[in-house]
Amino acid sequence: MASSEKVEINKSQNSEMKLPCTKCAGKTIHKVLVSVDVQGEEADGGWSIQWCDDYQIVECGGCKIKSFRNVSSNSEDYYQISETEWEHGELENLYPSRIEGRKTLENEEHYLPSTVRGIYKETIQALSNNSPVLAGIGLRALIETICKEKNAEGKNLLLKIDDLVSKQILTPTGSTILHKIRTLGNDAAHEVKPHSEKQLGLAMDVVEHVLNDVYILPKKVESEFGA
Ligand SMILES: [Zn+2]
């Protein structure tokens, strides 16, 4: 069996592509700053397989944030898209991972208490890495931590969320949605039933809203107007 490999530096430098950004909403044009493109072939008797693996440092054209893209493909990996057409399969991985259209609290995370910040970051990671069970558990843990931080009373999470409403930390509408996330976390933990990306995204919207109301806004107001 013969195999060969060719490494080219900056072959795809300056090429542009649309990618989701970790900061901007939606997809933006990203430019390749530096690349290492590897191509190879394995051959044995009558057959051969070609593969390529591109490693790129990319920059968002909007906010200029840098991230990493790896895209790999091989000559065996194609699928039929119509009766006569075939398309080559490409596997793309972006680091840090991201979800198109979701802006995180990234620039304001430092306003969160460290306990909440840690769980928030892990939950965002689970969401962007397509790990719905872990994301569900993370969302529930976030609510539990907010309750603990705010000394919510009650012998279970249901009563604690209601107590946040009587403490006027949470609106009744917010609590209705948090109750949904509470049971969502239950399902994820006890029945290992993953929820859809859309449900989890909505749940994260509500939790981010609460985090903003409870921690971020008061701190920003305090630093702007004084305590
Ligand atoms: Zn951007």
Confidence of residue 225 (pLDDT cuts 50, 70, 90): confident
Tell which residue, 212, 207, 209, has the closest CA to residue 135.
207
Residues with CB under 5 A from ligand 1 (ion): 21, 23-24, 60, 62-63
Asked if 23 and 40 count as a contact pair (C-beta separation under 8 A), the reply is no
Flag whether the pTM goes above 0.85: no
Q: What is the pLDDT of residue 9?
A: 96
Q: What is the pLDDT of residue 203?
A: 80
pLDDT score of 7:
95
Range in 50-64, 125-139, 184-198 with the lowest mean pLDDT:
184-198
pLDDT for the residue numbered 127 = 86
Q: How far is the CA of 20 from the centre of ligand 1 (A)?
A: 8
What's the rounded Cα separation, in Å, for the pair 34 and 164?
Answer: 50
Tell me the CA–centroid distance for residue 60 and ligand 1, in Å: 5
Average pLDDT, the chain: 85
- Reading phi first (left if > 0) and then psi (alpha if -120 to 50, else beta), residue 171 is in beta
Which residue pairs from 123-127 have beta carbons closer than 8 angstroms and sit at least 24 positions apart in sequence? 123/204, 124/204, 125/97, 127/99, 127/102, 127/197, 127/200, 127/201, 127/204
Angle at the Cα of 193 (from 192 to 199), degrees rounded to 5? 130
**Residue 76 backbone dihedrals phi, psi, to 5 degrees:** -90, -15
| 157-212 pLDDT per residue, tens | 889 999 989 988 888 887 887 787 777 656 555 665 667 777 788 888 888 888 88
Span of 33-37, 101-105, 183-187, 213-217 with lowest mean pLDDT? 183-187
What are the φ/ψ torsions at residue 107 (nearest 5 degrees)?
A: -75, -15
Q: Say yes or no to pLDDT of 36 above 90.
A: yes
